Structure 1
Amino acid sequence: MDTLKRRIQEDGRILPGKVIKVDGFLNHQLDIALLQEMGEAFHQRFANVEVDKILTIEASGIAIAAITAQYFKVPVVFAKKSESKTLDHETYTCTVHSYTKNRSYPVHVAKTFLHENEKILIIDDFLAKGQAVLGLVDIVHQAKANVVGIGIVIEKGFQDGGKPIREQNLNLHSLAIIDSIEDGVLRFRESSLSDMKGSSL
């Protein structure tokens, strides 16, 4: 998605550890027009599958999941990273590891909101090592529902998080795949025009 790649270049930053900071339009401040374009792109890419619900994980995945859901006209369920007094006691639970925060934590989805044989589209903002997405896949399987697709805004292809997902023959589509970050130079997959040098992407 060329619009997204340009925005990453213009407003993104590379932090130590090859962390990509895009809080100017995706992870803190939200560019709604861009989110709508991304939501429409996901709708086009998954137009051939039936979707009952969209599943994501709090917090940064919620915005793009909600906007994408408008095009599919389905509800959004988001996995919670912490238990609260309002969370149902019966939940599907798994443990995921955050690459950017370097810690593991349990995530929960109330059994009320995922049902057997439902067709679930997973949407998330980033794919690095793939732990969050694989955790959501596990939750869908616990519910005996079906993963019909996985949509990612930015995939860090050089960290191979997509490999175990694709090896399961899951229908994974990423709007932007970054193949490498070396010496401040970022390269997108299948695009020789997306390189830019410097601390900004």
Structure 2
Amino acid sequence: MYLLKDKILKEGRVSGKDILKVDNFLNHQLDVEFLNDIGKEFYKRLRDNKINKILTIEASGIAIASITAQYFKVPVVFAKKTQSKNLDKETYESLVYSFTKDKTYKIRISKKYVNSNDRVMIVTVK
């Protein structure tokens, strides 16, 4: 994805030793036209994989996942970072480390939204 590489080289900034700031087009402000191009490229490369769900975490990945889902015509499922009263009792859970917050989260996905028959594309933004 040369489009993404070029955008990062042109507009990204490094903070410390392990943070790439892309807040001007993804984390704080969205460049929707650019994200649309990313979604099209994912679809072009993965359309033959019979993807029926796109999975991401409750964070910056939602924007890319949502736009990409329009091309695949599938739902987006996102892992929640906090326990809430409206989250189902039966969940898949995992731990994930956030470099930007220097914190480990227990993420949860309701089992009713992902099952063994699904072909899932995972969108992560690190």
TM range (shorter): over 0.9
SS in 1 for 2:107: strand
Which residue number corresponds to residue 88 of structure 2? 88
SS in 2 for 1:125: coil
2:18·2:99 contact (CA, 8 Å) conserved in 1?
no
Q: 1:97 is aligned with what amino acid?
A: Y
1:58·1:80 contact (CA, 8 Å) conserved in 2?
yes
TM-score by length of 2: 0.93
Which residue number corresponds to residue 105 of structure 2? 105
1:77·1:113 contact (CA, 8 Å) conserved in 2?
yes
CA distance in 2, matches of 1:11, 1:104: 28
Which residue number corresponds to residue 55 of structure 2? 55
Shift of 1:86: 1.1
| 1:76 is aligned to 2:90 | no
Q: Look at both structures and tell me which one has the larger radius of gyration over its CA atoms.
A: 1
Q: 1:110 is aligned with what amino acid?
A: S
SS in 1 for 2:48: coil
Shift of 1:46: 0.7
1:82·1:106 contact (CA, 8 Å) conserved in 2?
yes
Shift of 1:50: 0.6
Q: Which 5+ residue runs of structure 1 have no aligned equivalent?
A: 127-201
CA distance in 2, matches of 1:25, 1:98: 19
Q: 2:60 is aligned with what amino acid?
A: S
SS in 2 for 1:26: helix
2:91·2:109 contact (CA, 8 Å) conserved in 1?
yes
CA deviation profile, 1:174-194 (whole Å, cap 9, x unmatched)? xxxxxxxxxxxxxxxxxxxxx
RMSD of the TM alignment (CA)? 1.2
Shift of 1:116: 2.3
Identity %: 50
| 1:28 is aligned to 2:28 | yes
Which residue number corresponds to residue 121 of structure 1? 121
2:14·2:20 contact (CA, 8 Å) conserved in 1?
yes
1:64·1:125 contact (CA, 8 Å) conserved in 2?
no
Q: Which 5+ residue runs of structure 2 have no aligned equivalent?
A: none
Within a 5 Å distance, the mapping from 1:132-147 to structure 2 comes to none
Structure with more helix by fraction:
2
CA distance in 2, matches of 1:6, 1:119: 30
Shift of 1:28: 1.2
Give the number of the structure with larger relative contact order, counting CA–CA contacts within 8 Å between residues 6 or more apart.
Answer: 2
TM-score by length of 1: 0.60
CA distance in 2, matches of 1:51, 1:5: 25
CA distance in 1, matches of 2:4, 2:95: 30
